[in-house]
Amino acid sequence: MRDIEKIIERHAKWHKSLLRLSWAEKIRMVESAMPAIRALRRQRAEAPKAPAQSSKQS
Amino acid sequence: MKEVAELLNRMRSAGIITNYAVFGAAAQMRYTEPVATIDADVLIEVLDPDRIDVLEPVFAFCRRNDYTISGDTVLAGAWPVHFMPTFNPLTQEAVEQAETADLDGVPVRVVRADHLAAIALSVGRAKDLLRIVALLEAGSVRADELRTLAERHGLSKAWKSFEQRFLHA
């Protein structure tokens, strides 16, 4: 349980530290992630769509 | 993004556009945590908003200056740029009252957080509403300020719906 609390605490700290970055720093961060974002979006677009699930239970 | 800022400033100096302001996800990052995006949205004021091919002077300028045009976007550095002429009093006000930010020594106009949230409210898709939540959570805009702005631009109903779903839930 303590481990989970630590992870959440660390995660919250990381988010706060992102907020403190300047706009230029955030922009550079996103620019460096662009190839990965594009690859993920391409992958998602090319993935076969899952068939729609019926809400009725048989 | 520095290349985007340089392109926009050049277009304004050349009189192709009269004014501009970055909005959308790229602008949001000025006020919140970074968000995953691969393009830049820019509101522009054009000289002749009534012409049918309203963006043609923009594209012609970009072609003359060797920018790559792909579909309805212009590639500036790593960023495909979407140009959107202002289309209502809210977007016009957003451009007029935009702030000038510094991007590695290059000035660039960016819409204010409250206008960004009000535009998101007017569009109203799920991702736009989440943008408003992010701006409120970051403390970049206050709910009462946004309500006033929304009311002034005929968005009272949209604001009430947002408030019920996200703030009073």
- Flag if B102 and A18 touch (Cβ within 8 Å): no
pTM: 0.85
Q: What is the ipTM of this complex?
A: 0.84
Looking at residues B116-134, what average pLDDT do you find? Answer: 95
Report if residue A54 sits inside a domain.
no
Residue range(s) defining the domain that contains residue A34: 2-40
- Cβ neighbors of B62 (< 8 A, separation 6 or more) are B7, B69, B74
Q: What is the number of structural domains in chain A?
A: 1
Shortest alpha-carbon distance between residue A58 and chain B (Å)? 32
Task: Report yes or no: B57 and B99 within 8 Å, Cβ to Cβ.
Answer: no
Task: Report yes or no: B125 and B132 within 8 Å, Cβ to Cβ.
Answer: no
How far, in Å, CA of B72 to CA of B58, rounded?
11
Which residues in chain B are contacts of A23 at CB distance < 8 A?
Answer: 29-30, 101, 103, 110
How far, in Å, CA of B76 to CA of B65, rounded?
11
pLDDT tens digits, B50-108: 888 999 999 999 999 999 999 899 999 989 999 999 999 999 999 999 999 999 899 99
What's residue A52's pLDDT? 66
CB nearest to A37's CB, from B30, B36, B138: B36
Report if residue A36 sits inside a domain.
yes
What's residue B169's pLDDT? 66
DSSP for residue B38: S
Report if residue A45 sits inside a domain.
no
- Flag if B138 and A19 touch (Cβ within 8 Å): yes
Residue reference for tokens 């970009």:
B62
| Chain A residues near any Cβ of chain B (below 8 Å) | 15, 18-19, 21, 23-24, 26-27, 29-31, 33-34, 37-38, 41
Looking at residue B54, its amino acid is V
How far, in Å, CA of B145 to CA of A17, rounded?
26
Block means of pLDDT (10 residues each) for chain A, length 58 residues? 78 75 90 87 83 58
- Flag if B29 and A27 touch (Cβ within 8 Å): yes
Report if residue A52 sits inside a domain.
no
Which residues in chain A are contacts of B37 at CB distance < 8 A?
Answer: 30, 37
- Flag if A37 and B35 touch (Cβ within 8 Å): no
Task: Report yes or no: B73 and B39 within 8 Å, Cβ to Cβ.
Answer: yes
Best residue in B32, B37, B38 for a mutation probing chain A (most A CBs within 10 Å): B38
CATH class of residue range B2-111: alpha beta
